[in-house]
Structure formats: structure tokens, C-alpha cells
Amino acid sequence: MVSEIDYGTPRRYSDTDVTLTIDGQSVTVPAGTSVMRAAVEAGVNIPKLCATDSLEPFGSCRLCLVEIEGRRGTPASCTTPVEAGMQVRTQSDRLQVLRRNVMELYISDHPLDCLTCAANGNCELQDMAGVTGLREVRYGFAGANHLQDKKDESNPYFTYDPSKCIVCNRCVRACEETQGTFALTISGRGFESRVSAGESQSFMDSECVSCGACVQACPTATLQEKTVIQLGQAEHSVVTTCAYCGVGCAFKAEMKGSEVVRMVPYKDGKANEGHSCVKGRFAWGYATHPDRITKPMIRAKISDPWREVSWEEAINYAASEFRRIQAKHGRDSIGGITSSRCTNEETYLVQKLVRAAFGNNNVDTCARVCHSPTGYGLKQTLGESAGTQTFASIDKTDVVFVIGANPTDAHPVFGSRLKKRLRAGAKLIVADPRKIELVSGPHYKADYHLPLRPGTNVALLNSMAYVIVTEGLAADSFIAERCEQKAFEQWREFISRPEHAPEATEAVTGVPADLVREAARLYAAPGNSAIYYGLGVTEHAQGSTAVIGIANLAMLTGNIGREGVGVNPLRGQNNVQGSCDMGSFPHEFPGYRHVSDLAVRSQFEAAWHVTLQGEPGLRIPNMFDAAVDGSFLGLYVQGEDIVQSDPDTQHVAKALSAMECIVVQDIFLNETAKYAHVFLPGSSFLEKDGTFTNAERRISRVRKVMKPLAGYADWEATQLLSNALGYPMNYSHPSEIMDEIARLTPTFAGVSFDKIDAMGSLQWPCNDEAPDGTPIMHVGEFVRGQGRFIITQFVPSTEKVTRKYPLLLTTGRILSQYNVGAQTRRTENVHWHHEDLLEIHPHDAEDRGIKDGDWVGIESRAGNTVMRAQFSSRMQPGVVYTTFHFPESGANVITTDSSDWATNCPEYKVTAVQVSHVSQPSEWQRSYSRFSEQQLALLREREMAAAPAGAK
């Protein structure tokens, strides 16, 4: 098992050191350190139950008593700070008796069922009974006790057994300090004290978000994972990286053989520091779900049943079809799509396969439909296509500006860290059409909520910049030293025009002018201000313009290049940053270098021993259009579900139906695979080695904890296909692929598996200039030299409300589900969210005769679908909202082909719609249901054919 030292209390930081003596040993620690932590650092473990180093000291268990020379009594070491010259004694007969008596009281109201308890072998109460030498309990169970208290089994992932609770408060404090939900409390007084979820509610009925912090903090079996109860304690563990959102949390996969017992957030994880969310902590069961397809399959037409074949036959069939298509229709008639859920190494191989084996640049990735405007906008202004900070940087932030992001749902571990900073006093500005959780929560409240209309981000950002410029709030010295003066002067003239004044933009954005002015002043105030943004910025027709506007604001106020500031895109998927870094766009090699650059291209040609194309290939939307036109007929899709995730579903389906060979590599028969001719079984993150790169440019190791169920990891399958196409790849381990990436990519030049293993993680750029990585970007100067202000002219979206479509639809995510839901829908997370709902303001519903829970039709110029309505005051009148986690909902049937002017990122966040009461599914849903049932039947026919005769 990977061992982690618990120091009892959090680390303190101070410019002053203090030297004291503990059990005769001299110890020097920072001022403010507890006696308990100082003792652990000296190798002395003081007994404890209520203390743990992820929580502030509480001092309730009275086990950590010590004796201090010259001081009366026996103070608790967890709450006693060190003092210079202090002489501490942690062991004596007196202390032993006191501790044993305390333990005796605990055990007098605790079940003595250690041999059958799920925590047996991993119970701090059990350990402390041994440490204190407890051998008998004088008090017995004759009096009142809690042994018959009823368990709460309501949560699908863990059990609450109050009979085993010692009221140490650790779970309550974890919910408050670490998660920030404040869902737990201690109800009752004295003997009646017990942990309570909400006001004596079940865990499922309470505000608990199932992050697992309480389970992690519990020192007994009071809060215990149901998998541990079922399977017993793990025998070994492997540290790996979560495969959900772009936070990149490190976990210990605790195992029995090749079976995962539980996923425990790793305390030394640089991105999460021991915290987790419901997805990473508990929703990993999809990896062994019965729906997993573990045998390759092929078919000539999508109306044919699937045929299980060997890997060799499937690979050779795919290769022969791709060669046939190219021979008939030309080199550019096929392409590939890389995955933001696969590793850097696997993504790198797919783009290499397309460029070297296919012979073209027709490669793209899901970042096209989410954060491609981030890459463009930040590259143009700052010089690098990535965020500037670490997540820990938020701890130094005075003003947080969140625009178009919902961290508590989409990036919950960072969301918890953000809420903690807000509770500590940081100011908050939220720009969002909805009242997201950050607008108001337990012990924090946004200073300003700017409820802008969807599609008006650029107008809002321009008006904030106008206030800062015209009121003399700009960081003039920073601009003079760090930015291009001519570009700034041109931009300043543009932004100072009256048309950008908040009073002028109010009619466009819907945000009162005084709110904009006050928010702008707050952001520009002395101190550290940071911007965090998400898909609510990028997924617009002016997504790239808005990213540029954000960079302009940061440069204008000097909020870049140090801790606590910066421009921070919150990446949606676990490796969306990495997929971009690895050269997944049709115009860029790894490291964001253009394919037309002869020097760069020559470097890759020499390394890959092949002639490469100097012209950009097709983007995903171009592939679809070319397929419909008959010139693009073959596609290799690794780990993406473009049918469900891309806009204008009917157009995507039409394009795929027109293709002659679609190869899908995935773990389930997803919506895209229903149009495929070759299915190559993929591997989950638990079955592979490699790296992910999170939203803070942090490269972290993914470590295999079980063998690939299908026999090959994804990188091996890609290699087999390349070899079958006649382009040899002969890697024996993903570390060799990373070594090649490092040789060819300047920002990764110092990266290797060995170095990541030694340091825990690395943040690129990592090279000779930054051998240990780069936590903060643009320190001293920008990557491009001088920062470049760019004019951001607001252009209204073509998606306008009309009499026919009077409402604006915007989309987003929810905490319990992830992206297209292929993973989370196959876990117990469906208990929280089992269908996509249309959030609608009660006023809009009343106007249409809609009641809460009614089925409603949502129609746009692209299509129509049906969902259940949910009244929500979080929405402003005129705006409706939905998620896209369930394919039958058809959320992207109604999103249109409108996209960002620079990158073709779809405008998911602005769709003009009409909503009306209906009583039956839409025509698309009926068609989808028929098609899906047919495809599942064809899959079952494959299963029947493969089953033993007696099983039919």
C-alpha cells in the first residue's frame, strides 16, 4: 500500500523558525506549527483521534495530551502551538493512564465487533486502543448506549452507522473546511450527540454532494464505502490520475488483486491535495460494467449484425478499407479524431498515424467544440495556448472573476478550493445568465452577479475595460513595460469610444450599468485579481473574441505573471489540454507549431522518416460537410462520441451515414459506434500507462492497475493499425512515446516518466530554461515577448430571438454526470440525475401553460426534441437551460451550425428556441429510438452468435 504520513495538523508557513525539544530531541519548525506536527516531524507519533492534517485542529478527543515543562496540566498537542525553548514530554505514566481512561470511555459505547467490522485492519480507534494499552473496559453496556442506532444506507456509495460514531467531528469539519457544503452537523447535546445530515435527514435527502470527504476523514467504520464492506480491505494500492474533468485529481486505486476496492484521493496529489468529488471518488464502476465490449467487431454495412473477430482481422480489415478509399477517392478522403479522455501518448500516436500513415493533416479533437477559442485567443495575446496559473494560486487571490464557468458542478474539487478562499475573505464577481451556486452559498456570497444575456460576453468585457481605461484604473507601468505600445494605443482608442460605456451596452447585455462599473472597479483594485472562465465563454460565435477580451483585461490591470492572478481556462475533460498540446489540430504539430513552418516540419519528417503535408487539413465540421458532399469517406475515432457531443445532431448523423468506413475505438457501443463499421475495444484509465495534462498544464502519471480487458491499451491498438497501413511503429511502452514527444516538442523537452515519478507531476514548459517545470506563466515577460492588445469588436450572434423562437437556450453540465454520460450513466450516479431536464423560469412557463414536470417540446431552426420541464428561479426570464448527458434527450438536435469565427467552435450557448407543452416524443426521438433499438439488437445478435450453444 502507498503509505501517507498523517501529521495531525496542517502545515504552517512562516518566515520565523522555532526550536523546541520533544522527548529530549531538538526540533526546528515554522512558527505556528502545532506541537503534534512538530513531534511527527521528529519521528514521534502522539496518539490522536480527532486530529488529521487535512483539517484545522479541534482538540476534542483528549488523546493527544502532552506534558510541557513549566506549564500546568496536560494540554492537547494538536491545539498547542510551539514556542521557542519549549520542552515537551509525550510519554509518561501519567499520560498513559489519562489516555487509557479516555479510550475506555470511547469503547464503553462502541460495538466490540472488530473481527466482523468492515474497518478491521484500517481503523484508527482500533489502533489507538492498542497504542494506549487498553485491555479491559470497566463500564460495560448495561447503561444507555447507541449500539442499536439504525444505519443510513440511503447513499449508494457509503453507509452511515451511528452506533460506531465517536463524535470526533472530523466528518463535519471535512464537509465544512474541505468541501464547503456544510451538509453535516452534530445534533443533540451530551450523550445524545450524533452526526446528522441536514436536519436529521438521510444522506440522500440532505445537501450532501457525496464528495467522500467525510468518509475519508472518518477514523472508524461509521462512514464506510459499500465496496469495502462487500470486498474487504485492500491489499495494495497504485497512485494514478482521475479520468473525468480537467482538474486532474490524483487517487490511490486500492486493490485486491486486479479488482478495485475503492479510489482514495491522494494527499500528495498536486492538483487536489487529498480532496475529491462524487465522480472521481465513487463513479469508477463503469470500467468493469457489463456493457463493456472487449472483442473487436466488424461489419460491411451498419444494417448488418456485428461479427466478433480477432484483433488481427479487425485491424487488417480497417487498414484495407482505408487504403481502398484513398486509392479510389484520394489521399485526403480519410481522417482521424483524437480523444481528450485518452493519454497524451495515445493522442500523440493518433495524430502521428494521420499525418504519417494516412499522409494528410485531417486530424482534429473534441477541443474543437469546447476550448479551441482558448488556444487561439491566448496564443494571439499572450503567446501560449494555455492557462497561466496553478490551482493553488487561488489562495493568493483577492478578487475572483468567474465568467461562463460553473466550477462547483464541472470542476468540483477546484470549486471547493475556490469557496474556501471566498470564506477567507476574497471578493467575487460572477458573470453568468444563471444564478450558479457560486452566486450565493454557505458563508459566502458574490459581491456582484452580472446576469448577462447569452451571447453578449464580448460587450460585457468591453464595457468593463471601458470603465477601467476611462476612470484611470489601468496598470500604466505594467503596460508600458510589458506590452506592445502601438497595439495598446490602438486598442485604447477603440475601447474608449462611448459605444462601450456600460450605459450604452446595458440594453445589449441586460446588466445594469452601475453593476458593471462597480465590478470593473473591484477587478481593477490594487491587489491580486484572477479570471476563471469556461465553456460559457468559448462556445459562442465570438468565443475567440471573448478570450482575447479576457486577456486584454488581465494585461490592462497588470494581473498576470505572479501568484494569485492570471487567465485561467477551466478545461472540461481530463486531457483536453493534453490533446491540444499533442498536435491534435489540423494546422499544428505538437507544441502548437504550424504545419506550414518548414523548419518544424523538417524536424518531424527526419524523426518520422516520412514526407509530411504543409497545408492544414480538415476540421471536424469540414469533415462532416465533405462527407455529405461525398469526398470524405473514412474516419478513425478514438474515444469520442461526436454524434452526441457535436452540434446539429442530424447533420452529424447524415455525415456519418455517408461514410464508407468508420472505425471507432471505445469501451462502449456509444452513439457514434452505432454508425461504425469497425469497433476496436478501448481501455479505461485503469488499464493503461501514460500521462494526462490538466487545466493548469500539470502533467501527471496514469498508472495501470489492471490488465486491459480487451488485451490491448489504446496506444497499442493505434500502433497495430499504423503497422497494418505500412507505416511502422514499434514502441514497447508509453514512456518511449513520451521520450519522442520530449525530443520533438520544446515545451516538453525536460519531461520523462522518471522525472514525473520523482517529482509527482510537472507543469510545462519543462526544458533547460525551466528544468522543474513552470507553475506560473509569463513571469517577467510574455511568451511572445510583449503582450498584445487586440481590438474586440462586438458582433451580435446571428441566433436572435424572434416571434417564432422567443427564448434563448443555453447548455451546461451537472455535478453527478460527465460530458455525454457514457461513463457516469453506468454508475450509481444516476440516483442524482437520471435524465436531462429543461430549466425554465416560472414566468416563461406560466405564459405557455406549462407546469413543473410537464413534458415540453423545444424547437429551434435546427430541429426539435422533448424533455421534462423543471421550474427554476436560477434562470432569468427569456432564457432556458439544459444539460446533454443523455442521448435520448437530443440536446444537440436543437443546437445549430453557428460557430466561432476563428476556430469553428460551436455556439452551444446561444440557440433561439420555442418551448411548448406536448404529450409525446419528437419525431427525431422516435427515429432515434428505432435506430438505437435496431443497433442494440444487432449487437445482441453478435452476442448470441458468440455465446455457447447451450446459452442461446
DSSP state letters, 173-230? HIIIIII----EEEESSGGG-EEEETTTB-TTTSS----SHHHHH-SSSSEEEHHHHH
Cα–Cα distances in Å, from 282 out to 213, 247, 381, 533, 701? 12, 16, 40, 27, 20
CA trace torsion 116, 122, 128, 134 (10° rounding) = 30
Q: pLDDT, tens digit, for every residue of 10-24? A: 999 999 999 999 999
Per DSSP, 286 falls in state G
- All three cell numbers of 855: 413534458
Residue type, 828: E
Contact 467, 516 (CB under 8 A): yes
Distance (Å, rounded) from C-alpha 622 to C-alpha 613?
Answer: 18
Q: pLDDT, tens digit, for every residue of 831-855? A: 999 999 999 999 999 999 999 999 9
Cα–Cα distances in Å, from 915 out to 805, 836, 858, 864, 894? 8, 15, 5, 10, 12
pLDDT the model gives residue 948: 61
Q: In terms of Cα–Cα distance, which of 468, 457, 513 is closest to 492?
A: 468
Q: pLDDT, tens digit, for every residue of 725-763? A: 999 999 999 999 999 999 999 999 999 999 999 999 999
pLDDT at residue 145 tops 80: no
Could you tell me where the beta strands, DSSP code E, fall in 764-861?
807-811, 837-840, 855-859
**Mean pLDDT of all residues in 517-527:** 97
Kindly give, in sequence order, each residue whose CB lies less than 8 Å from that of residue 430, ignoring residues fewer than 6 positions away: 402, 403, 436, 438, 439, 446, 448, 449, 450
For the ranges 127-141, 202-216, 355-369, 531-545, the lowest mean pLDDT is seen at 127-141
Q: pLDDT, tens digit, for every residue of 381-390? A: 999 999 999 9
pLDDT at residue 139 tops 80: no
pLDDT the model gives residue 572: 84
Under the banding of pLDDT at 50, 70 and 90, the label for residue 368 is confident
For the ranges 395-399, 494-498, 907-911, the lowest mean pLDDT is seen at 907-911
Backbone angles phi, psi at 699, to 5 degrees: -90, 120
Q: pLDDT, tens digit, for every residue of 410-423? A: 999 999 999 999 99
**Mean pLDDT of all residues in 30-44:** 96
Residue type, 601: R
Is pTM beyond 0.85? Reply is yes
**Mean pLDDT of all residues in 103-127:** 91
**Mean pLDDT of all residues in 808-828:** 94
Neighbours of 309 (CB within 10 A): 17
3-state secondary structure 16-48: CEEEEEECCEEEEEECCCEHHHHHHHCCCCCCC
pLDDT the model gives residue 947: 62
Cα–Cα distances in Å, from 498 out to 494, 502, 550? 9, 9, 20
**Mean pLDDT of all residues in 681-701:** 97
pLDDT the model gives residue 881: 96
Residue type, 567: V
pLDDT at residue 952 tops 50: no
**Mean pLDDT of all residues in 216-228:** 96
Neighbours of 881 (CB within 10 A): 22
pLDDT the model gives residue 617: 97
Helix (H) or strand (E) run with residue 873 in it: none
**Mean pLDDT of all residues in 894-914:** 91
Distance (Å, rounded) from C-alpha 711 to C-alpha 680?
Answer: 11
Distance (Å, rounded) from C-alpha 509 to C-alpha 552?
Answer: 19
Mean of the per-residue pLDDT values for the chain?
A: 95
